[in-house]
Amino acid sequence: MTMRQIAALFATSKSAVDRIIDDLAPKGALRARQRYAPETVLIVDGTLVPTRGHTAAAKSKNYRYSTNHQVVIHADTQLIVAVGIPLPGNRNDSKAFGESGVDHATRNGKVIADGGYPGTRAIIPHRRKDKDVPLVGWKEEHNASHRHVRARIEHTFARMKRWNVLRDCRLRGSGAAEAMAGIARLHNLTLAG
């Protein structure tokens, strides 16, 4: 709904609705947990959010100005447990993992990720040493189970991107970060029931 529609619904002015939403949006945002049990498995991945504000964005692989958001979910419950600060869209995932604050937020749990996180503490799939030499059987099985578990974060991104604000974010400044945290909170509320 637009501000004008919400204002008509509650019989108030459009500017009052804007002030109320600006006040309530940060309060409804996701807050990261501080500690996890040592056996907790978390899944991390980054997603690009196209934005119109060019201060925190950069042209990325989709040729649009985007911000890179690192998102962490709990492997068992698929609830979002942390969202990193947005970085320019041309930042690769291995650098964004540390710079966005996600590495620090997940320091107590085991983190698995895709192959875009080499050099981090995240568990990534096994790679072949040479393209002509296949992987050993147990490594192939490990990669298959890794793909199966890691697909959960892709499903989470699909559910989050149903919201139009994450397909074309018109918010400027810290608005993209607040929108992502708010959508993460709504995602958790719909999953938790």
Q: 129-178: per-residue pLDDT in tens?
A: 888 788 888 988 888 888 889 999 999 988 888 887 777 777 666 777 88
Which pLDDT belongs to residue 30?
Answer: 57
Q: Does the pLDDT value for residue 90 go beyond 80?
A: yes
Pick the CATH number of 32-192 from 1.25.40, 3.30.420, 1.20.58, 1.10.287: 3.30.420
Quick check: 41 and 47 in contact, CB under 8 A?
A: no
Question: In the predicted model, is pLDDT for residue 65 greater than 80?
Answer: yes
Residues 6+ apart with CB under 8 A from 12: none
Domain with CATH 3.30.420 in the chain: 32-192
Task: Please state, in angstroms and rounded to a whole number, the distance separating the CA atoms of residues 124 and 108.
Answer: 17
The whole-chain average pLDDT of the chain stands at 83
Place of tokens 């890794």: 146
Structure tokens at 80: 């979002």
Chain centre to alpha carbon of residue 24: 21
